[in-house]
């Protein structure tokens, strides 16, 4: 167990190191002069300023030395200065991350809580109306573009019916609760501001539905397929031959096996939800990492974009590591011999 | 669910439940045919856009701005008075072209790399697959955004950015498919004829691995169209005023009362993507002997 | 039920006119079509038939475990007087696993991989209210011990993947007997196991039948297995019972031509007839299950058919305890012994073995497969697949290669044809050293060494027509002048293996397993090779098809003067076909000898126990036979035992065996063995 654990952690660490190299290479090698975009036209036309700038950021050094500098700065939590905000990228990330984590986590919980039971029910009652509706909903989920779904939701529920609040995390007149975690649901509860909690929940409804649509479809599909596959296995027939009730056959024998691939997908989906909020946040004016990345991209804010890319890659690797470790618990075959 | 839900009774004389050939055909190919039909229609629309459109896609006419759907403007007009229907038709060209091109090129590159990795084995395989894993850990939209931002905005640049994030999954799939086939006895038999590795790979392994790859390509074109139009929606794809579905949704998204400007391009994306999903699922069922027996 | 009427005791199970149908796209399949039989309390009943005969479906119908598309369409199944067919789901559930248990064919997939053994055993007892959790756990340990599992206290805490196939089947048996059922159904319980493990499981099954008093229905395709365990046999063909009777009488005097054909298609280890060069086979294949023939379903293949056979016969008594569905034997007459042409022994003995030219010579051949590292820090390990093998194959002879799964026989085959690269040793083919020959150096030799593969479903490229499969090697080696010549040669090859030339334009999936194996043979013959390495070419086929393929291989050898290296795990077949036999165990040669000497006077204890483990389709002989029981299972090839590889299971192992590895020594002329104690065997 300990061996497996350390081996997975070492592998993840190596991948993370390689990821920094990739990001560094993209920054260094892509066409487009960072100096130009960093300094602006006026300053860039002055060779003195350019030279001083290059020396300051080590851009005149050989590539491997630059990488070393990049890496040591990274270890100190320094991702550079954002051009647009003129603040350290790390500080920006710390500010925007809670909103994204809040939204992504709610969407993830929604898609798992709905998708997994739905997929199981569809597989168990195959070719029934549950099955057909599960397949239809997952098809719509994976086929509709997020930005369009968001538009439809906002138009119908906010614009026409006016039963949902507009974009943003709170109503425009509200002040955010005192910052503890940055997640408004938690912070407003901690401050006993139940009115704010209510508003925050209301504001989360549409974005989280929109964000989870595709994931929900995917999780339903995978659960259904995995469950169907498991129900056809010999050991399920053996369980029936033992005289177990159908419920016990499904819950005790089929489910633990069927959920193994769902866990992989779930981990991947959570990573995608945390890193794939760009569209949703843009449309719902959700001040999270997605919106930050989007604004940085439009402003060609290279340090911010690269910082975000790296952070997202780390998130992905970390979640993958957690999935691998959960395997060791779920599937005894992983720790073989 | 065998008998738990449906107890077996033998008291009544048994009637055959064999399906008619029509039912069987629908069961097997129904969805795939619908999917293929949707795709063919859209491709025809894209090719024949100049013939089918009522107005030039860029024709601005502020006198007719924000008109609801009518006989003159089937799908209404946008804030610049452009005909949504005409722009929609031309938009099909960009979206379909980008989606199909990215996936096909990504699939070719990925398959080649994965195939070589599986066949070469050892350190080459290790290295190539580590690199593939590494590329997979960057979220596609973010990386595409980063690359688009670094290289500048434009259809071709966006497609290049997508291509960079698109090939790894094909490399993974191709590798696993080749690994499965490589240990099959018919491949060993091909070696016994005296064939070299490249000949075995091309003549025996590839034809038997191509099925799942085609399924993934088909399903993925839909996904690529969504990602491309999403980048365009964000303003990182096509350059305005190019008609593109994602960009059209973006241009009209602030309009609550004039819902048509953004709704119809979105529906267009939805139908195309569903078409590719149907076709992909259909091909998969058709290729999978287990599914075929049912 | 005719036979039961005389008995005072009521049968525990009575199947009457059972009909089980599948709904498929191509129509309804009447898989079980009016089957009737009964089982008395404590009786052991064998259910025999080839694949598709409906024997497994019958068992699943009794358990009401049919899959989605199948259902019971008629008849009744009386278990202790209650009809299973009309029971509701809860009633049948209460019966399953409690009074009626079932053991399935593949032990590797029958246990739930994520649950501990204890959990899987205990729930069976708890669910039926037999015991509470604690006493069930104690009973589980006790049962595992009874099933011959060492350290059962530890075993219950294990997961299934920590056990071998034989161990898992013991666990399945423990599960089956945990509630002391009145009836146990065992569906091919030993088919997936090696012969020595099979012998252990069959012994266990017989003991359990005696100890627990449970009636057993043993389903098998192997008459030897049936003869070993069962007191009565039901033979099924094409969804019907064709014959029924006591094992001994039925096997010695079959009253249905199908039973007769089954018996005679299998070569017998105990009844080797010198000079017999062909097996008795019946033509064709079983009828199409979508549309059974109107008359006797066996008539089309029956060597004894008469005019009456166009009418469907009933299952009628043919003696006090026997029933048969046949017009020919209605009068009670016996079917004649098969009359096969015997070749005069003189003609069989060709040139003395030693004088023949050596075609293939192998010395100290080694192949280790590195295992992927379990994790970053794990030591590198390797499977010692072939670990120092010496072997000679002379021109025109057939060398049989036998051993249990994992002994390295398939790897050895692939080393010889150079699909694998040897790690060390020497392979010499007609004087050429091909141990490390490059692909280019091998190319001309590919025409002279070919291979026939085990799995007829995997050995033909599914996307190529038969014509192209056969033409490929011809074209590659430029064996014909033009395309027309190639096509002529393809037709000639098809004729050679007994297929019509119209099959050339078909794809592999349009053929049955036996036909595919013929195509595979034709492909090997396309380049007119001298040596053919056959890797278990018949092990996945039904017995009658096996016999056809064996006959074909012998035919071809006589006509084309081929040399065979024939790999198999079926000892009777190896004895039948081989001139000399090599016994392999864990990557090492245990014994090499002429077939007759090896089977009549084996020198190695492993060979002896292998031979004694093979069941023989004769109940009288099975009862009398002395067996040498092999303990345990083969050790892991990752870490083979020191000294003699076989010592961990050898009944006569001594200290010397662990310290010193015995060398292969010629104890009698041409008879080699690797054992310190050959004189004691």
Tokens describing residue B181: 């086939």
Asked if the Cβ–Cβ distance from B277 to A276 is below 8 Å, we say: no
Q: What is the DSSP letter of C307?
A: G
pLDDT in tens, C369-411: 887 766 656 677 888 999 999 999 999 999 999 998 889 999 9
pLDDT tens digits, C37-95 = 999 999 999 999 988 899 999 999 999 998 878 889 999 999 999 999 999 999 999 99
Q: List, for residues B179-233, the tens digit of each pLDDT value.
A: 888 888 999 999 999 998 888 988 899 888 888 899 899 989 999 999 999 988 8
Q: Are B73 and B64 in contact (CB under 8 A)?
A: yes
Instruction: Show the DSSP H helices in B3-83 as ranges.
Output: 21-47, 49-52
Nearest CB to B10: which of C68, C75, C460?
C75
Tell whether C114 lies on the interface with A, counting CB pairs under 8 A. yes
Shared domain check, A242 and A101: yes
- In this prediction, residue A46 carries a pLDDT of 74
For residue A278, name the pLDDT band (cuts at 50, 70, 90).
Answer: confident
Chain B: closest CA distance from residue A300 (Å): 6
User: Confidence band (pLDDT; 50, 70, 90) for C185?
Assistant: very high
Section A131-138 average pLDDT: 89
A10, A239, A252: residue with CB nearest C376: A10
Size of interface A-B (CB pairs under 8 A): 143
For domain C353-448+529-680, the CATH superfamily is P-loop containing nucleotide triphosphate hydrolases (3.40.50.300)
Model confidence at A41, in pLDDT bands (50, 70, 90)? Answer: low
Collect all residues of chain C within an 8 Å Cβ-Cβ radius of residue B195: 476
Report the residue from C72, C446, C458 with minimal CB separation from B193: C446
User: In chain B, where are the structural domains located?
Assistant: 88-293
Span C279-312, pLDDT tens digits: 888 877 888 888 899 999 999 999 898 989 999 9
The DSSP line for C333-364 is: PPPPPP--PBPPHHHH--S-GGGSPEEEEEEE
Residue % of chain C over a pLDDT of 90? 59
**The pLDDT value given to residue B73:** 77
Same structural domain for residues A28 and A146? no
Cβ distance of A145 and B150 shorter than 8 Å? no
B6, B7, B38, B138, best to mutate vs chain A, most A CBs in 10 Å: B138
Band of the pLDDT at C626, cuts 50, 70, 90?
A: confident
Nearest to A255 by CA among A242, A246, A267, A266: A246
What pLDDT score was predicted for residue C2? 47
**For C99-136, how does the pLDDT look when each residue is reduced to its tens digit (9 = 90+)?**
999 999 888 899 999 999 999 999 999 999 889 999 99
Q: Give the residue from A32, A146, A151 with the most B CB atoms within 10 Å of its CB, the best one to mutate.
A: A151
Residue A31 is predicted with a pLDDT of 53
Strands C424-429 and C358-371: antiparallel
Q: Would the ipTM clear 0.90, i.e. be above it?
A: no
If asked whether residues A305 and A227 sit together in one domain, one would say yes
* pLDDT digits 0-9 by tens, C6-45: 546 889 999 999 999 998 877 889 999 999 999 999 999 9
Q: Say whether both A255 and A118 belong to one domain.
A: yes
CB–CB of A293 and B130 under 8 A? no
What CATH code is carried by the domain that includes residue A259? 1.10.3720.10
What integer pLDDT is reported at residue B6 of this predicted model?
A: 32
pLDDT tens, B68-92?
Answer: 888 777 788 887 778 888 899 998 9
Instruction: Give the tens place of pLDDT for each residue, A302-312.
Output: 788 888 888 88
Q: Is the pLDDT of residue B7 over 80?
A: no
Q: What is the pLDDT at residue A5? A: 81
From chain C, the residues in CB contact with B12 under 8 A are none
Q: How many angstroms separate the CA atoms of C14 and C62, rounded?
A: 10
User: Residue B278: is its pLDDT beyond 50?
Assistant: yes
Instruction: Say yes or no to pLDDT of A207 above 90.
Output: yes
The answer, yes or no, to whether residue A335 has pLDDT greater than 50, is yes
Can you tell me the distance from the alpha carbon of A178 to that of A176, in angstroms, rounded to the nearest whole number? 7
- pLDDT exceeds cutoff 60 at B4: no
Asked if the C-beta of A127 comes within 8 angstroms of chain C's C-beta atoms, the answer is no
Give the helix/strand (H/E) hosting B289: helix B289-293
Interface touch A19/B138, C-beta < 8 Å = yes
The neighbouring-strand residues paired with C451 are C533
For residue C32, the cross-strand partners are: C20
Q: Can you tell me the distance from the alpha carbon of C121 to that of C51, in angstroms, rounded to the nearest whole number?
A: 31
- Look at residue C350 in the predicted model and tell me its pLDDT: 54
A77-103, pLDDT tens digit by residue? 888 888 788 889 899 999 999 999 999
Please give the average per-residue pLDDT across C584-593, as a whole number.
94
Picking from A80-94, A270-284, C366-380, C484-498, which range would have the lowest pLDDT averaged per residue?
Answer: C366-380
Binary contact (B1, A282; C-beta < 8 A): no
* A13 near C CB under 8 A: no
Q: Which two tokens stand for residue C164?
A: 């071998």
CB contact under 8 A, C127 and A257: no
Burial class (CB in 10 A: 0-12, 13-18, 19+), C206: middle
Of the candidates C96, C111, C378, the beta carbon closest to that of A241 is on C96
Is there a contact between C24 and B293 if contact means CB atoms under 8 Å apart? yes
In a domain, A85, yes or no: no
Domain B88-293: top CATH class: mainly alpha
Q: What is the predicted pLDDT for the residue at C352?
A: 59
Chains that touch B (3 or more CB pairs under 8 A): A, C
Integer Cα distance of C178 and C606 in angstroms: 34
> Is the Cβ pair C377, A7 closer than 8 Å?
yes
Instruction: Give the pLDDT confidence score for residue C184 in this predicted structure.
Output: 95
Whether the pLDDT of residue B292 is over 70: the answer is no
pLDDT digit string, tens, across residues B124-171: 888 888 888 888 888 777 777 777 767 777 888 888 888 888 899 899
Q: Which residues of A touch B250 (CB under 8 A)?
A: 147
Domains in chain A, number = 2
A288 in Cβ contact with A99 (< 8 Å): yes
pLDDT digits (tens, 9 = 90+) for A162-204: 888 888 888 888 888 888 888 888 888 888 888 888 899 999 9
| Distances C100 to A138, A312, C278, C498 between C-alpha atoms, Å | 42, 57, 44, 47
Residue A143 at interface with chain B, using a CB cutoff of 8 Å: yes
Per-residue pLDDT band for B20 (boundaries 50, 70, 90) equals: low
HSE-CB at A139 with a 13 A cutoff on CA atoms is: 20
The answer to whether C159 contacts A235, with C-beta atoms less than 8 Å apart, is no
**Mean pLDDT of the residues in chain C:** 89
For residue A250, pLDDT beyond 80: yes
pLDDT at C460 over 80: yes
Residue B91: list chain A partners with CB under 8 A. Answer: none
Expressed as residue numbers, the domain containing A174 is 92-336
Cβ–Cβ of C97/A256 closer than 8 Å?
A: no
Question: Mean pLDDT over residues A249-257, rounded?
Answer: 93
> A333, C95: Cβ pair inside 8 Å?
no
Q: Same domain, yes or no, for A276 and A201?
A: yes
Condensed to tens digits (0 to 9), the pLDDT of residues C241-284 reads: 999 999 999 999 999 999 999 988 888 888 777 777 788 888 77
Hey, are the CB atoms on B256 and A159 less than 8 Å from each other?
yes
User: Can you give the pTM of this predicted structure?
Assistant: 0.85
Query: How far does C121 lie from chain A, in Å, by closest CA?
Result: 10
* Measured CA angle at C502 (ends C496, C504), to 5 deg: 70
Does B29 or B31 have the greater pLDDT score? Answer: B31
Convert chain A into a string of H (helix), E (strand) and C (coil): CHHHHHHHHHHHHHHHHHHHHHHHHHHHHCCCCHHHHHHHHHHHCCHHHHHHHHHHCCCCCCHHHHHHHHHHHHHCCCCCECCCCCCEHHHHHHHHHHHHHHHHHHHHHHHHHHHHHHHHHHHHCCCCHHHHHHHHHHHHHHHCCHHHHHHHHHHHHHHHCCCCCCCCCCCCCCCCCCCCCCCHHHHHHHCCCHHHHHHHHHHHHHHHHHHHHHHHHHHHHHHHHHHHHHHCCHHHHHHHHCCCCHHHHHHHHHHHHHHHHHHHHHHHHHHHHHHCCHHHHHHCCCCCHHHHHHHHHHCCCHHHHHHHHHHHHHHHHHHHHHHHHHHHHHCHHHHCC
| pLDDT, position C26 | 78
Q: Across residues B277-283, what is the average pLDDT?
A: 88
Cα pseudo-dihedral A227, A231, A232, A235, rounded to 10: 130
**Buried/exposed code over C510-547 (b: 16+ C-beta within 10 A; e: otherwise):** ebebbbbbbbbbbbbbbbebbbbbbbbbbebbbbbbbb
CB contact under 8 A, B1 and A293: no
- Chain B residues in contact with chain C using a Cβ-Cβ cutoff of 8 Å: 1-4, 7-11, 14, 16-19, 24, 184-186, 188-196, 204, 207-208, 293-294
A4, A242, A256 ranked by CB distance to C97: nearest: A242
Residue with tokens 């894993």: B133
Q: Say what angle helices B155-182 and B122-136 make with each other, to 10 degrees.
A: 140
Is the minimum CB–CB distance between C123 and chain A shorter than 8 Å?
Answer: yes
Local confidence band at A275 (pLDDT 50, 70, 90 cut-offs): confident
Same domain, A166 and A38: no
Contact B208 C461 (CB under 8 A): yes
The whole-number pLDDT of residue C3 equals: 45
Is the same domain home to A62 and A101? Answer: no
Total beta-carbon pairs less than 8 A apart between chain B and chain C: 94
Per-residue tokens: B283: 């091909």
Lowest mean pLDDT among A270-279, B7-16, B64-73, C545-554: B7-16
Residues A303 and A190 occupy one common structural domain: yes
Q: What does the pLDDT read at residue C353?
A: 59
CB-CB under 8 Å, C25 with B10: no
From the CA of C61, how many Å to the nearest CA of chain B?
A: 11
Q: Look at residue C449 in the predicted model and tell me its pLDDT.
A: 94
Is C476 close to B193, i.e. CB distance below 8 A? yes
Mutation target among B98, B142, B274 for the A interface, most CBs of A within 10 A: B142
Please tell me the predicted confidence (pLDDT) of residue A98: 92
Test mutation, C461, C473, C477, C536, chain B, max B CBs within 10 A: C461
Asked if pLDDT for residue A71 goes beyond 90, the answer is no
Q: Which residues in chain A touch residue B262, judged by CB atoms under 8 angstroms apart?
A: 148, 151, 155
Q: Map out the domains of chain C as residue ranges.
A: 109-178, 353-448+529-680
């Amino acid at each position: 167990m300990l061996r497996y654990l350390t081996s997975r952690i070492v592998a993840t660490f190596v991948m993370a190191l390689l990821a920094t190299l990739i990001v560094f290479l993209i920054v260094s090698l892509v066409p487009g002069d960072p100096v130009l975009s960093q300094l602006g036209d006026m300053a860039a036309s002055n060779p003195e300023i350019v030279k001083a700038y290059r020396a300051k950021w080590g851009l005149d050094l050989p590539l491997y030395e630059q990488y070393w500098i990049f890496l040591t700065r990274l270890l100190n939590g320094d991702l550079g200065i954002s051009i647009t905000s003129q603040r350290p990228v790390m500080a920006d990330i710390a500010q925007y991350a809670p909103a994204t984590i809040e939204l992504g986590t709610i969407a993830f919980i929604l898609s798992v809580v709905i998708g997994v039971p739905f997929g199981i029910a569809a597989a168990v009652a195959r070719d029934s109306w549950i099955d057909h509706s599960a397949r239809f909903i997952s098809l719509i989920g994976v086929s509709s573009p997020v930005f369009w779904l968001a538009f439809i939701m906002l138009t119908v529920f906010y614009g026409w019916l006016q039963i949902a609040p507009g974009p943003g995390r709170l109503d425009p007149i509200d002040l955010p609760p005192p910052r503890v975690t940055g997640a408004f649901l938690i912070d407003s509860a901690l401050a006993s501001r139940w009115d704010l909690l209510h508003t925050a929940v209301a504001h989360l409804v549409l974005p989280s539905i929109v964000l989870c649509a595709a994931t929900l479809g995917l999780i339903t599909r995978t659960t259904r397929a995995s469950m169907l596959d498991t129900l056809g296995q010999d050991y399920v027939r053996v369980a029936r031959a033992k005289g177990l009730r159908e419920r016990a056959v499904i819950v005790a024998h089929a489910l633990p096996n069927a959920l193994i691939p769902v866990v992989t997908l779930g981990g991947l989906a959570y990573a995608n939800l945390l890193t794939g909020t760009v569209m949703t946040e843009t449309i719902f004016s959700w001040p999270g990492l997605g919106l930050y990345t989007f604004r940085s991209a439009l402003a060609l804010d290279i340090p911010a974009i690269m910082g975000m890319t790296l952070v997202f890659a780390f998130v992905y690797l970390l979640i993958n590591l957690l999935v691998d470790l959960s395997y060791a618990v779920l599937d005894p075959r992983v720790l073989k011999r | 669910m065998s008998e738990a839900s449906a107890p077996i009774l033998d008291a009544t004389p048994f009637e055959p439940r064999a399906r008619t050939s029509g039912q069987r055909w629908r069961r097997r190919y129904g969805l795939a045919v619908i999917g293929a039909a949707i795709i063919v229609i859209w491709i025809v629309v894209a090719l024949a856009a100049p013939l089918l459109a009522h107005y030039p896609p860029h024709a601005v006419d502020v006198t007719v701005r924000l008109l609801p759907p009518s006989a003159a403007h089937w799908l209404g007009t946008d804030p610049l008075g452009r005909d949504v229907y005409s722009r929609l038709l031309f938009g099909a060209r960009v979206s379909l072209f980008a989606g199909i091109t990215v996936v096909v090129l990504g699939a070719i590159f990925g398959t080649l790399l994965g195939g070589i990795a599986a066949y070469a084995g050892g350190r080459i395989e290790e290295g190539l697959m580590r690199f593939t894993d590494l590329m997979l850990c960057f979220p596609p939209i973010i990386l595409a955004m980063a690359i688009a931002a670094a290289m500048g905005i434009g259809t071709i640049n966006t497609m290049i950015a997508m291509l960079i994030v698109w090939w790894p999954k094909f490399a993974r799939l191709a590798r696993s498919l080749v690994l499965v086939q490589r240990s099959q006895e018919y491949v060993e038999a091909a070696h016994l004829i005296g064939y070299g590795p490249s000949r075995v790979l091309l003549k025996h392994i590839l034809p038997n691995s191509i099925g799942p790859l085609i399924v993934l390509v088909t399903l993925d074109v839909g996904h690529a169209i969504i990602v491309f139009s999403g980048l365009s929606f964000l303003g990182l794809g096509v350059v305005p005023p190019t008609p593109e579905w994602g960009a059209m949704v973006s241009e009209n998204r602030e309009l609550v009362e004039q819902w048509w400007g953004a709704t119809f391009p979105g529906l267009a994306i939805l139908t195309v993507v569903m078409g590719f999903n149907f076709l992909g699922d259909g091909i998969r069922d058709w290729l999978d002997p287990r599914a075929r027996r049912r | 039920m005719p036979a039961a009427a005389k008995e005072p005791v009521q049968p525990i199970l009575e199947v009457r006119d059972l009909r089980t149908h599948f709904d498929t796209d191509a129509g309804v399949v009447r898989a079980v079509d009016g089957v009737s039989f009964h089982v008395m309390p404590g009786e052991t009943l064998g259910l025999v038939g080839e694949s598709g005969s409906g024997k497994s479906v019958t068992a699943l119908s009794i358990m009401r475990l049919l899959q989605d598309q199948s259902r019971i369409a008629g008849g009744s199944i009386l278990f202790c007087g209650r009809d299973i067919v009309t029971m509701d789901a809860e009633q049948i559930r209460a019966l399953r696993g409690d009074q009626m248990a079932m053991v399935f064919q593949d032990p590797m997939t029958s246990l739930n991989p994520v649950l501990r053994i204890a959990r899987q055993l205990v729930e069976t007892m708890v669910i039926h209210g037999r015991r509470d959790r604690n006493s069930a756990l104690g009973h589980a340990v006790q049962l595992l011990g009874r099933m011959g599992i060492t350290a059962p206290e530890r075993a219950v805490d294990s997961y299934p993947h920590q056990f071998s196939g034989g161990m898992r089947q013991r666990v399945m048996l423990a599960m089956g007997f945990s509630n002391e059922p009145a009836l146990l159904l065992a569906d091919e319980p030993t088919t997936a196991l090696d012969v020595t493990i099979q012998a252990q499981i069959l012994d266990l099954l017989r003991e359990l039948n005696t100890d627990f008093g449970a009636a057993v229905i043993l389903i098998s395709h192997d008459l030897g297995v049936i003869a070993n365990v069962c007191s009565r046999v039901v033979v099924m063909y094409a969804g019907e019972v064709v014959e029924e009777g006591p094992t001994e009488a039925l096997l010695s005097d079959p009253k249905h031509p199908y039973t007769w054909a089954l018996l005679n298609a299998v070569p017998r280890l105990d009844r080797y007839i010198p000079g017999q060069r062909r097996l008795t086979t019946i033509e064709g294949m079983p009828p199409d299950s979508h549309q059974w023939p109107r008359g006797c379903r066996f008539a089309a293949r029956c060597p004894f058919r008469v005019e009456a056979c166009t009418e469907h016969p009933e299952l009628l008594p043919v003696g006090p305890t026997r029933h048969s569905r046949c017009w020919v034997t209605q009068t009670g007459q016996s079917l004649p012994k098969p009359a096969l042409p015997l070749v005069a022994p003189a003609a069989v003995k060709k040139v003395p073995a030693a004088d023949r030219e050596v075609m293939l010579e192998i010395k100290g051949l080694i192949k280790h497969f590195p295992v992927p590292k379990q994790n970053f820090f794990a030591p590198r390990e390797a499977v010692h697949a072939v670990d120092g093998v010496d072997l000679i194959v002379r021109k025109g002879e057939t060398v049989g290669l036998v051993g249990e799964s994992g002994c390295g026989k398939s790897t050895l085959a692939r080393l010889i044809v150079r699909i694998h690269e040897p790690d060390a040793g020497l392979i010499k083919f007609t004087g050429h050293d091909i141990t490390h020959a490059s692909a280019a150096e091998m190319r001309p030799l590919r025409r002279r060494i070919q291979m026939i593969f085990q799995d007829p479903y995997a050995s033909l490229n599914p996307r190529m027509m038969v014509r192209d499969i056969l033409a490929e090697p011809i074209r590659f080696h430029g064996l014909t002048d033009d395309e027309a010549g190639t096509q002529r040669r393809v037709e000639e090859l098809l004729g050679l293996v007994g297929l019509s030339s119209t099959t050339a334009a078909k794809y592999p999936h349009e053929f049955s397993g036996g036909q595919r194996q013929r195509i595979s043979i034709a492909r090997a013959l396309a380049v007119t090779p001298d040596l053919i390495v056959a890797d278990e070419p018949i092990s996945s086929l039904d017995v009658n098809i096996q016999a056809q393929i064996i006959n074909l291989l012998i035919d071809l050898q006589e006509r084309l003067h081929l040399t065979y290296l024939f790999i198999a795990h079926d000892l009777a077949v190896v004895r039948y076909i081989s001139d000399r036999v090599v016994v392999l165990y864990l990557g090492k040669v245990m014994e090499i000898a002429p077939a007759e000497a090896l089977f009549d006077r084996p020198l190695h204890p492993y060979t002896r126990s292998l031979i004694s483990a093979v069941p023989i389709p004769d109940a009288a002989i099975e009862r009398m036979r002395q067996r040498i029981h092999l303990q345990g299972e083969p050790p892991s090839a990752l870490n083979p035992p020191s000294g003699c590889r076989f010592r961990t299971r050898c009944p006569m192992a001594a200290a010397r065996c662990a310290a010193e590895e015995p060398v292969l020594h010629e104890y009698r002329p041409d008879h080699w063995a690797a054992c310190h104690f050959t004189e004691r065997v």
